[in-house]
Amino acid sequence: MPVKKKKPVDVVKMTPSEEKMLEFAEEKEFRYNASQDRSNTKTPDAKVKQKAGFDYVTEGYLRNQLSKHFPTWSWIPAGNNPVQFLGSEWIIVTGNLVVDDHGVKRTFMSPGSARVMFKSGAPHTAENVIDIDKNVAAANTNGFKRAVNRLCNIADDVYRKIESEWMTEEQEAVYDAILEEMLQAGLPHTVYTKFKKKKEQVTPLNFNEYYGKMEEYLNKLKTKETA
Q: What does each of the 227 residues of the chain score in pLDDT, given as a tens digit?
A: 566 666 665 555 667 776 777 777 788 888 888 888 898 889 999 999 988 888 999 999 999 999 999 999 999 999 899 999 887 888 999 999 999 998 899 999 999 988 889 999 899 888 888 989 999 999 999 999 999 999 999 999 888 765 455 677 778 888 888 898 888 888 898 888 888 888 877 877 677 888 888 888 888 888 876 55
71-99 in b/e form (b: 16+ CB < 10 A) is eebebeebeeebeeeeeeeebbbbbbbbb
The pLDDT of residue 69 is 95
DSSP labels, 136-176: HHHHHHHHHHHHHHHHH-TTTTTTT--TTTS--HHHHHHHH
Give me the pLDDT at residue 163, please: 46
The pLDDT, as a whole number, for residue 25 is 78
CA dist., res. 141 & res. 159, Å (int): 16
The confidence score (pLDDT) of residue 5 equals 63
Q: What is the pTM of this model?
A: 0.63
Give me the pLDDT at residue 75, please: 97
Report the pLDDT value the prediction gives residue 97, as an integer from 0 to 100.
97
